[in-house]
Amino acid sequence: MRRILLAAMLCLLPVLAHAEKSLELWTFIDPAGDSPRSKALAQIISAFEQQNPDVKIKPTIFAWNQINLAFMKAAQAGKVPDVTMLNSGRIQRVVAANFLKPLDDYLDKTGQRSDYILMPNAIGADKKIYGVPYEVRALGFLYRSDLVEKTGMGKPRNLTELVASAKKMQELQGPTFVGVGIGFDPKQDSAEKFYIPAVVALGGKLLKPDGSADFVSPQAIRVMNYIHDLVQKDKVMPLDVGLTGPDQVRTLDEAGRVGYYFQGSHWLLTLRGKIPQGAKMDFMPVPLLDSDGVQPVFVEGWNLGIPAAAKEPDLAWKLVSYWTSPDVQIMQAKVAGYLPMRKSAAAKVDPNAPDTAHIKPLLEVIGSNAMNFKWPLNTDALQESLGVAITNVMADKQKPEEALREAEKSYNSMRAY
């Protein structure tokens, strides 16, 4: 009997020696999809598993605008993944709740901490780092450069010229063409990404020192009037387009029906592969409202965070370290159009290749002209309250000051939650 038991144990040894570890990744990108971003993620997972044959990455997919909230709820319940994506505009709330593990020791051990481009919202009040971005992007306009050429007007130098360019495009393309596409659905994110930078660029403030709303200002009213006129006066953006979200506007853009689509630079390569044959698309930062020049650029990225209660934190960091390595950053730039978050990788991206030519100029703009704004813990409340005000003004339901006064009350009632 002992011999039988011994033989059985010896047979199990190879199995035990190669026992597979599971690493759970929460992501808003489906690695089984066919978009450039999906293909880049699939390549990362495959390469990491090949390098670590005893590890299996198990992705759980959430909607991009739900993953932060889902993680907060999971952390409160004590049921967390090993690694999670977290949006840079909302990670501060997760950091403040102490749901993430500080990454400083890991970063210090790399000996290359200064090479990482880190997002301010991922740095806690204790000055520790709680998230490392796997990509960075700028917000601006994905525009039909072929139509800009046809108008003979050149690339817009300010937002007033952008409206004139959009009108000319509509004349050339016909009644179903949308000159400007910005989806201001309050439940999504264009209020925080278009409206707030425009107000800040004019010198306006949105929050008081105590964190309460300070929405009504001459600068805010000017931006509100500009958005209103896109719909009601200049008629370069149909109301139904303005009331939708960025994802819905993108469907029109893929069909070649939008002149200036407000979105992140990371969508450039995807949309170039979807727009009609013969159409051309490029990216430009948002210009100033009246004078020539570029607004301070809204910069965001998706962070990789390791939960404080993660079962495999060291293995999780191994994945994060690989994902953010210079070689992988260069691959992502080529495949998905991401801006690298490692300085050494950014220096190696080919500035002349069509798919990466936009990267160096954008990084230079970000380095010299990134928007400086202290985001509150509850960015969702800020987005929703301002989004409702914008949609009411666009629809001629309220004047800008009245809408902003109501938005102040709404934000102040929600911001603590």
User: Which pLDDT band holds residue 206 (cuts at 50, 70, 90)?
Assistant: very high
Q: Average of pLDDT values for 263-274?
A: 94
Q: What is the DSSP string of 123-161?
A: B-TTS-B--EEEEEEEEEEEEEHHHHHHHTS-S-SSHHH
Q: Do 109 and 176 fall into the same domain?
A: no
Q: Residue 5 domain-assigned?
A: no
Contact 63, 119 (CB under 8 A): no
Write down the mean pLDDT value for the chain.
93
Q: Do 360 and 211 fall into the same domain?
A: no
Specify the pLDDT at position 156.
97
Q: Residue 192 domain-assigned?
A: yes
Q: Do 282 and 405 fall into the same domain?
A: yes
How far does CA 156 lie from the centroid of its chain? 24
Q: Compare 56 and 415 and report the one with higher pLDDT.
A: 56
Q: State how far the Cα of 147 lies from the Cα of 136, in Å rounded to an integer.
A: 28
Contact 86, 305 (CB under 8 A): yes
**Which bin fits 303, alpha (ψ -120 to 50), beta or left (φ > 0)?**
beta
- What is the domain-level CATH number for residue 359? 3.40.190.10
Q: Which two tokens stand for residue 293?
A: 């020049």
Among candidates 76, 186, 92, 124, which has minimal Cα distance to 377?
92
User: Which pLDDT band holds residue 198 (cuts at 50, 70, 90)?
Assistant: very high
Each residue's pLDDT tens digit, 326-359: 999 999 999 998 999 999 998 899 999 988 999 9
Q: Average of pLDDT values for 105-109?
A: 96
Q: Which two tokens stand for residue 73?
A: 């709820």
Q: Residue 1 domain-assigned?
A: no
Quick check: 44 pLDDT over 70? Answer: yes
User: Which pLDDT band holds residue 281 (cuts at 50, 70, 90)?
Assistant: very high
Q: Residue 242 domain-assigned?
A: yes
User: Which pLDDT band holds residue 415 (cuts at 50, 70, 90)?
Assistant: confident
Q: Which two tokens stand for residue 279?
A: 């159409």
- For the chain, the domain total comes to 2
Show the domain range for 326.
Answer: 19-130+300-364
Quick check: 3 pLDDT over 70? Answer: no
Quick check: 289 pLDDT over 70? Answer: yes
Contact 130, 311 (CB under 8 A): no
User: Which pLDDT band holds residue 112 (cuts at 50, 70, 90)?
Assistant: very high
Q: Do 276 and 238 fall into the same domain?
A: yes
Quick check: 6 pLDDT over 50? Answer: no
Quick check: 7 pLDDT over 80? Answer: no
Q: Do 227 and 265 fall into the same domain?
A: yes
Lowest mean pLDDT among 238-242, 290-294, 314-318: 290-294
Q: Which residues contact 370 (CB under 8 A, 6 or more apart)?
A: 296, 297, 299
Specify the pLDDT at position 19.
55
Among 347, 364, 381, identify where a domain stops.
364
Q: Average of pLDDT values for 246-264?
A: 97
Q: State how far the Cα of 148 lies from the Cα of 155, in Å rounded to an integer.
A: 6
Q: Average of pLDDT values for 392-416?
A: 96
Q: What percent of the chain has pLDDT over 70?
A: 95
Contact 155, 294 (CB under 8 A): no
Q: Which two tokens stand for residue 156?
A: 């817009």
Structure-token match 């950053």, residue found: 329
Which amino acid is located at 400 in the chain? P
Q: What percent of the chain has pLDDT over 90?
A: 91
Q: Do 106 and 247 fall into the same domain?
A: no
Q: Do 339 and 350 fall into the same domain?
A: yes
Q: Which residues contact 181 (CB under 8 A, 6 or more apart)?
A: 237, 241, 249, 252, 253, 258, 259, 260, 261, 262
Q: Do 240 and 317 fall into the same domain?
A: no
pTM: 0.90
> Looking at the chain, how many residues does it have?
417
